[in-house]
Structures are given as structure tokens and as C-alpha cells.
Chains A and B, each alone.
Chain A
């Protein structure tokens, strides 16, 4: 009760010391959330692209399809990366809610979400042997998880004020950086798998279209014209997808998070503020560029569908 009263007193006073944080932390939260929303489907979809490429490859090399072609990566390993993304998103939301410091109920809800995410991750990996995909990651993430649980406890007990926000940013800095590092390496590796899968799919599509062309040549010019349109659209879509720089998103996220930590420890001069804003805005801008590129690809798909 005393803490709640202290919070109310802080709110009544306006908590002006939090003001410099509000915009960058909110921008950071929005960009982290968007990154999670963007990368999540890619992680989920990677096995579908691997299988598709396997099937096309077998056509290209004139071999029978087999059940081995339907295998991808460990779903548990991929699910762990999704959980890790969810934790980053919850962490950013928790910071943003504290920075806003205008709704105790909302803050508690956000903290609970973060706690639920960490618990879910812990449940997912519980009992996994260390040599398995899930077990391997939990060893890597052991420290981050422990620290985050500590962060949750701290957030639940402390009222929102500048010292709390700064302490939690500093305390979470290392585990969050570690989490971003792990995800960045993993997402970059997955993007390489995507890239080569698309290369196989592109060649396979060209081969099948060539076969169709042989059947249509001299018989149905209109259908041949449509085939060319489809091939051009498919090829363009694949090239655009291969050009989207997903791995760079997490690099920008790390730079923005690092800038936040540096700002906390700085004298908070206008130059410190400008540096923080530059990094966080850079991250948000990159996220917007990726979103725009993906929206463009989706729009192309929709356009092709209405033809």
C-alpha cells in the first residue's frame, strides 16, 4: 500500500524525471514489437520453404520424392526462438509502461505478461537433455532467464520512477544483449537457409514452366502469355524476398538497446539524448523499411491473385 501511495504521489508530481525516456523507450518498444511480429512468421515458415525446395530439387535432378524430403528443422528449436522473441517484446513493453508511469494496473499486466512468457519458455525447455536443440539453448539462455525473473520480481515490487527504470535497464542489459546476440546469429543462419531454398525453388519453377511451355507452344498463345506473366511475377517475388534484410533488424535492435543503456549511465546532456534518439530512430526506420518491402511483396501477391 505504501508503495502504491508513493507511486500515486509520484504520478501527482508528474514524474518529470522520466520525461526524457518516454519517447525513445516507446519508439524502442514499437520497433521491438514490430520486429517480433515480422520475424516470427519467418521462423515458423522456414520448414515449409525447406520442404518446398527439397521437392523442387528432386524434380531438377530427376529423382523420386521420399519422406526425407518432408523433413525440416526441429520444431522445438524453432519454437524456442519464437519464445525468445516474445520475451524481448515483453521486456520492451515493460520498460515502455514504466516510462509512461501513468497506469499501475497496466504496468502490472505488462509485468505479468513478461512473467508468463518467461514461464512458458521455462516449461518448453523443462526436461530437455542438454544435447537436444532445446536443451542446448537453455544452457545458453540460463543466465538471461534467471536475470529476467529477477527483473520481474523487481518490477512487481517497486514503484515506477526514474531510479527504478534506470536500475532495471542496467540490470537487464546483459541478459537482453545476450538474448539478442543469440537470436541475431540464429536468424541470420535461418535467412541463409531461406536464401538457398529460394534459389532451388526459383530453378524448379523455371524447369516446370519450361515443361508447360513445351505443351503450349504453337497451340495456345494466350495460355503461354499467362505462363510468362506468372513466371515473371514469381521470379520477382522470390528476388524481393531474398533481398529483405531480416538479420539486420536484430543488429539495429542491439544498437538501440545499447544506446538506451549508455544513456542511462550518461549525464543526460542534450548530446546524449541526441545519440539515443539517433540509434532508436535508426532501428525504427529500418523496421519500417522491412515492413514496407514485405507489404510491397504482399501487395504484388494480392494483385496477381485478382488478375
Chain B
């Protein structure tokens, strides 16, 4: 049996710390000019990614979350019906299947955010 896939998000705090450390290192006068330039390029690129990532966080995929919440509600409803009438148990299987698909979609959304960096 496979373990359920966990929805992950990039730790923006870690990313921000890295950017700051890159800038600190790039600002030191004892670092060679070529190395400083390379560090500044890297800090610039990483800060751009952070801004993009936070922008995406602000524009959360609410639709996927909403669909998942509705799917959870549907499972609750169908379970309650099946508990009262065992004939209705097939509905539960169907609604659990839809919930699984919604959760998969949610995990993919999260994975998309992770692969962005």
C-alpha cells in the first residue's frame, strides 16, 4: 500500500534567508569582484523567484480547495445515507473516488508550486 502523497509548499522563509545571506556575502569587501558579481546575479534571480512564489501564494488556487471541500461534504452525506440504508453504499464508493481525484488535483497544484523553484 502506498503512503498518501503529502501536499508540500516551498518554505519562503528559507528562500528569503538564502537571498539575504547571498546579499550579505556579496556585500563583503574581502570577496573577489568576480565572485561578488556571481553572488549578486544569484541573489537577483532568487529574489525574483521569491516574489513570483509569494504572488502565487496570494493568488491561491481557491477553486481546487473549494472542489475538495465539496467532495468531503459529499462523502459525509453519502456515508450518513449509507449508515441509514446499506443499499446506498455504492454512492459512498463513488463520492470517495471523486474526493480522491480532488485531493490528487490539490497535490498536483502544490507540486507545481514546488517545481517552480
Interface residues of A (CB under 8 A from B): 50, 53, 57, 60-61, 72-74, 77-78, 81, 130-133, 135-140, 142, 185-186, 188-190, 192-193, 195-197, 199-200, 202-203, 206
**Most chain A beta carbons < 10 A, residue from B12, B15, B26:** B12
Question: How far is B54's CA from A130's CA once the two chains are assembled, in angstroms?
Answer: 18
Between A and B, 9 residue pairs with Cβ closer than 8 Å are A61-B44, A73-B58, A74-B58, A131-B61, A133-B59, A189-B57, A193-B54, A196-B23, A202-B27
Chain B residues within an 8 Å CB radius of A202:
23, 27
Q: Is the CB of A139 within 8 A of B62?
A: yes
In the assembled complex, the CB of B68 is this many whole angstroms from the nearest CB of chain A, namely 11
- The reply to whether B40 and A139 contact each other, CB–CB distance below 8 Å, is no
Shortest distance from the beta carbon of B16 to any chain A beta carbon, whole Å? 4
- Return chain A residues, CB-CB under 8 Å to B23: 196, 199-200, 202-203
State in angstroms the CA–CA spacing of A200 and B12 once bound together.
Answer: 17
A277 nearest CB across to chain B (Å) = 32
Report the minimum CB–CB distance from B77 to chain A (whole Å).
Answer: 18
Residues of A within 8 A of B24 (CB): 199
Which residues in A have their C-beta under 8 angstroms from that of B50? 192-193, 196
Check B66 against A142 for contact (C-beta < 8 Å): yes
Return the contact of A137 from the options B15, B47, B62 (Cβ within 8 A): B62
Interface string of B52-75 (1 = CB under 8 A from A): 001101111111011000000000
* Residue in contact with B19 in the complex, picked from A74, A185, A199, CB distance below 8 Å: A199
Question: What are the nearest 10 A-B pairs in CB distance?
Answer: A139-B62, A133-B59, A130-B63, A192-B16, A199-B23, A136-B62, A77-B58, A196-B19, A136-B60, A189-B54
> Which of A185, A195, A206 is the one whose CB lies under 8 Å from B20?
A195
Specify which of A135, A142, A196, A203 is in contact with B40 (CB 8 Å cutoff): A203
Other-chain residue from B19, B55, B63 in contact with A73 (beta carbon distance below 8 A): B55
Residues of A within 8 A of B51 (CB): 50, 72-73, 193
Interface residues on B, range: 20 to 34
Task: List residues of chain B with CB within 8 A of the CB of A130.
Answer: 61-63, 66
Q: A-facing mask of B7-24, CB < 8 A → 1, else 0?
A: 000001101100110011
Q: Tell me how far the C-beta of B103 lies from the nearest C-beta in chain A, rounded to whole angstroms.
A: 16
Closest to A182 in B: B60
Q: Which of B15, B26, B54 has the most CB of A within 10 A?
A: B54
The yes or no answer to B106 lying at the interface (CB within 8 A) is no
Known: A193-B51, A195-B20. A77 touches B62 (CB 8 A): no
